[in-house]
């Protein structure tokens, strides 16, 4: 059974037959995708227009707009529910990894400072290797703990360049 949590509060469960249950009661609903991509949803006799604004598969969240109001829906699959029941809910979260040199090269520019909070995709360092400039980006949200290299210095493959926490 899949659990859907709306705005961190209300929860619904969906079983394999796509039956929605709220407060231990089945919910009568149907949905049809409209030509523009929106959805027409009828739930317990009321009609709603829904639009999917954003889907984050990694975080298992969907941002919906229903009748001009936004809702964030978090999806918990059976494995997520089991881990939460065992007290290890964040076990599947990605570990923050230090940034290492994938090949020998020359550090051209360090774009972050110790203590700086960085977000996934933020550029952190430029390394010249094999006559090409390579921009290293953060793989996940983190805080820069320590910078182990200086600009204009040579590094070896596997060397830790930036320590993250």
Q: Give the model's pLDDT for residue 121.
A: 86
pLDDT band at 129 (very low <50, low <70, confident <90, very high): confident
Q: Give the model's pLDDT for residue 97.
A: 77
3-state secondary structure the chain: CEEEEECCCEEEEECCCCCEEECCEEECEEEEECCCCCEEEEECCEEEEEEEEEEECCCCEEEEEECCEEEEEEEECHHHHHHHHCCCHHHHCCCCCCEECCCCEEEEEECCCCCCEECCCCEEEEEEECCEEEEEECCCCEEEEEECCCCCCEECCCCEEEEEC
Q: Give the model's pLDDT for residue 33.
A: 92
Mean residue pLDDT of the chain comes to 86
Q: Give the model's pLDDT for residue 16.
A: 60
Q: Give the model's pLDDT for residue 1.
A: 79
Please provide the CATH number assigned to the domain covering 99-164.
2.40.50.100
Q: How many CB atoms lie within 10 A of CB 95?
A: 6
pTM: 0.51
What is the average pLDDT across 115-119? 92
The pairing of strands 105-110 and 123-129 is antiparallel
- Residue 17 pLDDT more than 70? no
- Residue 96 pLDDT more than 60? yes
Give the domain ranges of the chain. Answer: 2-92, 99-164
């Amino acid at each position: 059974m899949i659990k859907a949590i709306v705005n961190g509060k209300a929860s619904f469960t969906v079983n394999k037959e796509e039956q929605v249950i709220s407060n231990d009661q089945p919910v009568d609903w149907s949905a049809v995708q409209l030509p523009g991509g929106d959805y027409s949803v009828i739930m317990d006799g009321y009609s709603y227009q829904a639009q999917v604004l954003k889907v984050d598969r990694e975080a298992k969240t969907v941002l919906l707009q229903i009748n001009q109001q936004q809702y964030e829906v978090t999806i918990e699959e059976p494995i997520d529910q089991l881990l939460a029941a065992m007290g290890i809910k964040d076990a599947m979260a990605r570990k923050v990894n230090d940034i290492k040199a994938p090949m020998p090269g020359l550090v051209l520019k360090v774009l972050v400072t110790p203590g700086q909070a960085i977000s996934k995709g933020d550029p952190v360092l430029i390394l010249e290797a094999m006559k090409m400039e390579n921009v290293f980006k953060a793989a996940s949200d983190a805080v820069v703990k320590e910078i182990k290299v200086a600009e204009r210095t040579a590094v070896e493959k596997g060397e830790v360049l930036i320590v993250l926490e």
